[in-house]
Chain A
């Protein structure tokens, strides 16, 4: 993302300056110890099926440097470490018609219901002939002044025209990579080109990457090429304990889980690199953190006992979800946000709204996302503490973290225009699809443990976290979101197992994990907020209880130089999973080749209440049967009556795997280490 303001950077710059000054002006009495330097250069090339083609051709250079001193005086240890990374992803050049400056297209879809709907809008009688010939192939976001027939129906709030700054080019249809719109739900389009080529739908300070930002991901205003940069120091005490510090840009990893982040939430994550499939070490976003640990060692009944406090002084950063048009946009969220932001700024055509077969044009500032409130979040600083140790052979931790959610919340209830009336009203409309993106403040309490059971020759690890303050879309609420406390847990079992007919000398690693998530304040029902029966479930789209299981089967041959494995994951509620066989070949101490095939299977896209059948703009959006019956409820706002579709929020039911159902890929990575 672009850096729009330097003010939030000041703390990080200060710390970096301190580190440099410390390195330059260390007392001469400090004898210099060894310097470690290593790095790698690699190319990762991924190709996707379903006609997409190249999705990644990223060349990365990473350097790691560490220098230790033998200090005298207060410190027993003092060292400096840095990791520098730069990359170039050529996909935006080699496949620029899919991702990049020439991506997207003009979009078209039929709207056979338009004539009667337009007639209804004109004089309330859908059976009168429309004042224009029936449209057969309306052009999205076209100009629609009567009596020209082509185009979607402009709602009265548009004043008859959609914004000319929103042409029908460089677009994709939301979710077209996952479903075929077969369920008649709403359809939106989103701009696909980098923000300096096409600024439509770009969200300032949040999802506003230029072509250069996408190509050279680390070279941005947050200096991400300085991936990690910190100093370590320790102050010993006569008791044998010590106070350790690590100050600077770093990763702080809590928890004992692979793939899932239950306690491991201190650093945000860049999902745009490769969804959930890259190692967390590579996709965590290091942050400027003051990390202090009091290490007691063996104390009382504890074989090991430590207390840690952390304070994140670098300003807030959210997870990178991938903006609209990127190859990896987890949940398709970036595409969705970009579509909605474009709607807000420029107006947009929505297909199958208010009913299937009709396409209407929304005016600006009525539907969509207004802004991401980064300024509220950027000045919040996370802090937490952890008690960790070993007792009777069981490793354990107790954790607390106060932090800003790295996942966005769509908060409705912002002032918006009524699209059915001309003029600018700018007021609160209950149940209106008009949002800001916010990042709520959360509190997390958690614990973890690991132990070994000889009877089953397996190592076990468990982790649990209780989080308060999280927000979820909720179509029962006037602002279309509500809070829920959440419990997440994971149980992992690792068992090295000999399978002699496959390998006499080396055990296979069998690793099973089960992850659970429970929304304690979940709401889901078949009547709306006003007690009217609904067509489908309404309320919170996220599952009340969901479970995901992963299983890894890994072997080693040729003295661990050849590592074949199969990684599988299954999202039970979403009904989708992934199977990823791979082979890792360490050709020699320097060269390494990794080949992966990543398949997705299952149900893919799932539908949910899309809020079409709510009544945010009474009486215009009152359900026809209620209007025909002259129901007085038409005159007041009411929550959704449960018309559903894949878009826009069915994605939260489908989950990251379900939304990537058609992202089968072949992946090859070649690395040279030095």
Chain B
């Protein structure tokens, strides 16, 4: 009997050694993670919300600008208009799921998560002494509430521009859909679709509406629950009238000629386990978080039949959004690809601490030179389309990828809707590509 018990203990200890134990958390952790501005406002020397930061005072505020933003402001490419810090609360469903499930989550030896169901995996403040801090942060991002359980972006305009001249070289109009098959907190079924034989975590479906030569091109990506499993991707090519299986491993390829790699989607669209992740500190940064309806909007690229207006563009090459920036607490996450042939040397992701969304990304090439800047403008869901009110999502509203080496940018203008009206699993099937295609 004693030997049996000893065996069980030994086996249990061995089992424990394969994972990093689950972290405990408190209500204070929850409040600090999800409601950091309840009783605190970030500050910086000399900074006053509402002021303008431009070429003349960029040096003074270098500490609250990410490295690429500082360079652009200093070079006179853009002038920043600031605004007070505001609360961007996530859905209470997501917060409650964190309370319910986060205590059981642990890191496996291979860097994946054990026992994750829904919510924020690690609501605790990252600990600089924790060698796993970066890994934990990236899982917070990967399973964040970036677009809720389900989102449609239509129209979604991608404009290719010459940074030096501002010339518009090409413009693509998309319709995109995103669906979480599991880890769902808002839309039924929660927390997951029962019928999911492929163990898909997330589906991404996009269709090109314009220009004519690409119209009806569709892409479907399946991201799996098992992070070590490569995504599957399919492309419906209109002029071939059939679905092509994509070599999904080539995610460092530019997508349809844009300045985005497939790996860049939503900030980072690869396997967590493809990179090593390091927590590089907490900073207060000026990030593009704003109320969409209060911004200077425009009918370009196209007058929307619903009356919706897009974030307008300005600055060098018309690559920058006409939005205000607010000082927000952010976690800096540095990712380095494990593949020695990867063209990127490192990704510096600035995660907004409240929403755990990627507010800005600076990539460096293998030589260590700055390569691309990719900020994503976040709109408060209560100050956007009526359908988004109360959804508790920091909506992707505007983005740009500036390739500083090629002097080229791709601007992304969104009309985002957090809805499950059409986003059902069948939309994210290979057969749907054939059904829609003609």
Please, which residues of chain B bring their CB within 8 A of the CB of A506?
Answer: 253-254, 257
Whether A301 contacts B197 by the Cβ 8 Å rule is: yes
Question: With A and B bound together, what is the CA distance between A451 and B171 in angstroms?
Answer: 32
**Stretch in A135-143, A344-352, A387-395, A630-638 touching the partner:** A387-395
Question: With A and B bound together, what is the CA distance between A648 and B337 in angstroms?
Answer: 62
Nearest A residue to B408, CB-CB? A559
Whether B247 contacts A452 by the Cβ 8 Å rule is: yes
Whether B253 contacts A559 by the Cβ 8 Å rule is: no
Please, which residues of chain A bring their CB within 8 A of the CB of B341?
Answer: 498
Please, which residues of chain A bring their CB within 8 A of the CB of B210?
Answer: 589
Partner of B247, one of A81, A457, A504, A590: A457
Whether A281 contacts B426 by the Cβ 8 Å rule is: no
Whether B240 contacts A281 by the Cβ 8 Å rule is: yes
Whether B212 contacts A458 by the Cβ 8 Å rule is: no
Question: With A and B bound together, what is the CA distance between A34 and B435 in angstroms?
Answer: 18
Question: With A and B bound together, what is the CA distance between A98 and B225 in angstroms?
Answer: 64
Please, which residues of chain B bring their CB within 8 A of the CB of A242?
Answer: 426
Whether A251 contacts B241 by the Cβ 8 Å rule is: yes
Within 8 A of A (CB), among B406-432: 406, 408, 410, 424-426, 429-431
Whether A40 contacts B431 by the Cβ 8 Å rule is: no
Partner of A304, one of B250, B424, B429, B438: B429
Whether B198 contacts A393 by the Cβ 8 Å rule is: yes
Please, which residues of chain B bring their CB within 8 A of the CB of A419?
Answer: none
Please, which residues of chain B bring their CB within 8 A of the CB of A451?
Answer: 245
Within 8 A of B (CB), among A470-515: 494-498, 500, 504-507
Question: With A and B bound together, what is the CA distance between A306 and B431 in angstroms?
Answer: 7
Please, which residues of chain B bring their CB within 8 A of the CB of A497?
Answer: 250
Question: With A and B bound together, what is the CA distance between A2 and B248 in angstroms?
Answer: 49
Q: Is B76 an interface residue (CB 8 A)?
A: no
Within 8 A of B (CB), among A585-627: 586, 588-590, 592
Q: Known contacts being A81-B438, A253-B241, is A673 close to B249, with CB within 8 Å?
A: no
Whether B257 contacts A495 by the Cβ 8 Å rule is: no
Q: Is A255 an interface residue (CB 8 A)?
A: yes
Q: Is B91 an interface residue (CB 8 A)?
A: no
Please, which residues of chain A bring their CB within 8 A of the CB of B245?
Answer: 256, 395, 450-452, 459-461, 494
Whether A279 contacts B239 by the Cβ 8 Å rule is: yes
Shortest C-beta distance, B437 to chain A (Å), equals 9
Partner of B257, one of A300, A556, A592: A556
Shortest C-beta distance, A111 to chain B (Å), equals 52
Q: Is A132 an interface residue (CB 8 A)?
A: no
Q: Is B338 an interface residue (CB 8 A)?
A: no
Q: How many residues of A contact B (CB 8 A)?
A: 69
Partner of A302, one of B197, B248, B252: B197
Q: Known contacts being A302-B197, A560-B256, is A454 close to B170, with CB within 8 Å?
A: no
- For the A-B complex, the count of residue pairs with Cβ-Cβ distances under 8 Å equals 158
Partner of A454, one of B230, B408, B425, B435: B230
Q: Is B56 an interface residue (CB 8 A)?
A: no
Whether A589 contacts B197 by the Cβ 8 Å rule is: no
Question: With A and B bound together, what is the CA distance between A590 and B244 in angstroms?
Answer: 26
Whether A293 contacts B425 by the Cβ 8 Å rule is: no
Please, which residues of chain B bring their CB within 8 A of the CB of A96?
Answer: none
Shortest C-beta distance, A554 to chain B (Å), equals 12
Q: Is A258 an interface residue (CB 8 A)?
A: yes
Whether A256 contacts B242 by the Cβ 8 Å rule is: yes
Whether B406 contacts A505 by the Cβ 8 Å rule is: yes
Q: Is A240 an interface residue (CB 8 A)?
A: yes
Question: With A and B bound together, what is the CA distance between A282 and B238 in angstroms?
Answer: 11
Please, which residues of chain B bring their CB within 8 A of the CB of A389?
Answer: 431
Q: Is A108 an interface residue (CB 8 A)?
A: no
Encoded as 1 (CB less than 8 Å from any A CB) or 0, chain B from 168 to 198 comes to 0111000000000000000000000001111
Q: Is B232 an interface residue (CB 8 A)?
A: yes
Contacts A395-B243, A498-B253 known; list 15 others, CB within 8 Å: A38-B212, A240-B426, A253-B241, A256-B243, A295-B431, A301-B197, A306-B431, A452-B246, A457-B250, A494-B244, A498-B341, A498-B343, A505-B343, A505-B406, A556-B254
Can you list 25 contacts pairing A with B, beta carbon distance less than 8 Å?
A39-B212, A40-B212, A279-B239, A281-B238, A295-B429, A295-B435, A298-B195, A298-B196, A302-B197, A304-B429, A395-B234, A451-B245, A461-B245, A494-B246, A498-B253, A498-B341, A498-B343, A505-B406, A506-B257, A558-B169, A559-B170, A559-B410, A588-B169, A589-B210, A589-B211
Pairs A-B, 10 closest by C-beta atoms: A560-B257, A673-B212, A303-B198, A559-B257, A496-B250, A450-B245, A459-B245, A457-B249, A589-B211, A507-B253
